[in-house]
Structure 1
Amino acid sequence: MQGQTQGQPAGAGAGLRAGLEAVMTEVGTLYQERDVEIQMIVTGLLAGQHTLLLGPPGTGKSAIVRELTGRIEAATYWEILLHKFIAPSAIFGPVDLAALTARGEHRQVLDGHATRAHVAFLDEIFKCSSAALNSMLAFLNERIYHPESGGQPIGCPLVSAVCASNELAEDETTAALYDRLLIRMEVDYLTEADSFDALLRSAVASGPPATRTTVGLADVQHAVAALVPAVDLPGGVITAVRDLRADLRGREITSSDRRWKQAVRVLQASAWLEGRTEVAVEDLAVLAHVLWDSPAHRGTVDRVVRGYLSPDDRDLADLADEVDRIAAELDKLAADGDENRLREWAVGQNTKLATAAKRLAGIRDSAVRAGRTPAPYQRAAERAQHVYTRLLSEALGVDADKIPSLDGRRGRR
């Protein structure tokens, strides 16, 4: 395999990988229902690509980014709230007035601005002014900045940027900017009652977390520059991606050649994060967050991508959808307050949900036996167990301590 012939053993970067897994778990505990967003931001970081978080205000977009990037030791973090009148100097650095006054030198103060950032958070990205647009494109795509006084472009150490917006761009002037954001995530308000309860509890002052894992900037940069690019892309995956492209084009969903090429690095990052030296078909799951332009197409892209995953991953996605559907209906009926209707509905869903939960546990165990990282399967199994416990206890009055677990033991929730 290419990764091995270039001298990268299977365990290369194992310490960083373990650290990032711990970081994702810890941040996911702090921010409910954001596991996928957290994983894709980290995947984008390892791929050296940029992520867009699209959603309404107050969904924790900036807080998640700050928490994640604050765990990269020695990294310079920079953020800004953009608006349509913002001057390029506010982003890339103002004129050094002292040097201009004393020596007549026209230079910019670059420290403390985007030009010195390893990780950047660009809020309201589509409100970037037309005056700053070209400089922003060069910054994101080429990691350079053309100084106002002219001369050689300045190299920027940017590894990855996370951008946020409450809405998509409405004009063509920011279309090129939108295309630079390879990973696109829709972020909405919390949907689960338990997640909302955890949100309320988090408002009560408490001590610092018992564990706060960090990783080193140099290790991240080495992974981005050497370890992730060394991950092999087998012919079978190339064939699957080619067929996926044809399927999406048949549905009039197209992506640029540049976007497909950049998507390869995201596939490599996904594989590396899972501890593999070559991309597997299951890594295609990340493309569901890469290949849509309009939110209206996101569901279609997700379903088409799902069809190319391994049988276990296809089952995982379908079963997770079923669990989410039952949870949403449970919330709705519970809110209506009609106990008889809730009980009658729950009786019909009991066996269906129990079967889904047991199947998810089986997929998790199969992943462990096959040597695959069990984390996504474990999260889905725990989610199914949680909904199953709620269904039996809230709708059917079963003592929660007597509800069997996914593994057949009792009292585990």
Structure 2
Amino acid sequence: FGPVDIQAFRQGSYRRRIEGMIPQAEVVFLDEIFKANSAILNSLLTLLNARRYTHGTESLRVPLISLYAASNEVPTDEALSAVFDRFLLRVRCDYLDSYHFRGLLQKGMNLEARTMAEDEGQARKVATAAELLAVQRRFGDLFTASEEFMATFKGLVFQIRSEGVGLSDRRVVKLLKLFAASAIFDGRTQVNDADFFILRHVWNTPEQEDLLQEIVGPVLDRWYEQHPDQARIGATPTSLKDLLEELKVIRETLTGSEVLSDMQLFSQLRNLGDIKAALQRMHDNPAAQRMVGEVDKLLETMFASSRFV
């Protein structure tokens, strides 16, 4: 929130120098948020709830639009539950699948090169704060949902709660804004069942991720079966070329003359499973579906070998 204003403190007023700090920010990212002390978290809670910040004897309206945070641990302390509940979505960052490895290295090298350059240049502007605010103000006009959508949403919420995943009424209401945002990014003016992918990220502990997938997955699968021309929202973009290159490397490794350890062998087989799953998600790509058969043949060959007898 800024350093203490020493001059004001000497005059008997406890204030902070907030220039360029959170109280004046529109979009905020906080790293290791749950390492903050209780005083900071309480101020943050007021800021998130009411968009206000107590500055000495004044209560200032803050221009905050969105706040993002990162943490290496999920809070278990009840004292942190109120702040944690204000974050609608929880997304776990895991290691990338093997077929994204080449892209990871290339993008990482490009980022390092830009960082070390004398003139990094400005980041590409995606949207201005004014544009984001304009969209927010039109939420009532932009959000249109059918009775069927709301009925499905209600059913999913109560099923999630019945499985022991806490989902407060506050978050349920706020999730409607995220459904609308999902539809807008997908070029639609009305939400549909494809937007329920958001509910996979309302967990309170990482162990609940699989449970949410079991609840939400069938609804999404049914939608895409009925609308085969629609690409899955929220899926990580995957290049068929990258998949085929990775498949070639795995095939050469598994069928080569070098003897693999059990750990190496099972690692490659797991990678094959990941590639097959990624190919199967490309429903409208005939080449991808043909490669699913190639993966199956390779798996059958390996399981028929003496290593698995």
Q: State the TM-score, normalizing by the size of structure 1.
A: 0.54
Would you say how many aligned residue pairs link Structure 1 and Structure 2? 265
Shift of 1:335: 10
Using the alignment, how far apart are the partners of 2:198 and 2:170 within structure 1?
17
Q: Structure 1 pair 211/252, CA: closer, same or farther in 2 (3 Å)?
A: closer
Instruction: Give the aligned CA root-mean-square deviation in angstroms.
Output: 4.1
8 Å Cα contact 1:281/1:310 also seen in 2: no
Aligned equivalent of 1:274, options 186, 189, 210: 186
Q: Structure 1 pair 128/309, CA: closer, same or farther in 2 (3 Å)?
A: same
Q: Indicate the percent of aligned positions where both proteins have the same amino acid.
A: 30
Using the alignment, how far apart are the partners of 1:130 and 1:334 within structure 2?
54
1:164 partnered with 2:70: yes
Aligned equivalent of 1:306, options 217, 228, 239: 217
Task: Indicate the structure (1 or 2) with the bigger Cα radius of gyration.
Answer: 2
Which letter does structure 2 place at the counterpart of 1:339?
G
Q: Secondary structure at the match of 2:28?
A: strand
Counterpart of 1:238?
Answer: 150
Q: Secondary structure at the match of 1:178?
A: helix
Q: Structure 1 pair 154/359, CA: closer, same or farther in 2 (3 Å)?
A: same
1:218 partnered with 2:124: no
1:94 partnered with 2:6: no
Which letter does structure 2 place at the counterpart of 1:181?
F
For structure 1, which runs of at least 5 residues remain unmatched after alignment? Answer: 1-91, 363-380, 397-413
Using the alignment, how far apart are the partners of 2:41 and 2:277 within structure 1?
50
8 Å Cα contact 2:194/2:223 also seen in 1: no
Which letter does structure 1 place at the counterpart of 2:41?
L
Q: Which moved more, 1:259-268 or 1:246-255?
A: 246-255
Shift of 1:209: 8.9
Q: Secondary structure at the match of 2:70?
A: strand
1:265 partnered with 2:177: yes
Which letter does structure 2 place at the counterpart of 1:356?
Q
Which letter does structure 2 place at the counterpart of 1:361?
N
Shift of 1:96: 2.5
Which structure ranks higher in relative contact order (CA pairs < 8 Å, sequence separation ≥ 6)? 1
Using the alignment, how far apart are the partners of 1:285 and 1:178 within structure 2?
21
Q: State the TM-score, normalizing by the size of structure 2.
A: 0.70
Counterpart of 1:139?
Answer: 47
For structure 2, which runs of at least 5 residues remain unmatched after alignment? Answer: 300-309
Using the alignment, how far apart are the partners of 1:183 and 1:253 within structure 2?
13
Aligned equivalent of 2:283, options 349, 354, 359: 359
Q: Equivalences for 1:245-264 in 2 at 5 Å? A: 245-264=157-176
8 Å Cα contact 1:116/1:158 also seen in 2: yes
Q: Secondary structure at the match of 2:91?
A: strand
Shift of 1:164: 0.3
Q: Equivalences for 1:116-135 in 2 at 5 Å? A: 116-135=24-43
Shift of 1:116: 0.6
Using the alignment, how far apart are the partners of 2:34 and 2:278 within structure 1?
45
1:320-379 CA distance string (max 9 Å, x none)? 89x9xxx7x96996797663798xx8xx99xx78983762437xxxxxxxxxxxxxxxxx
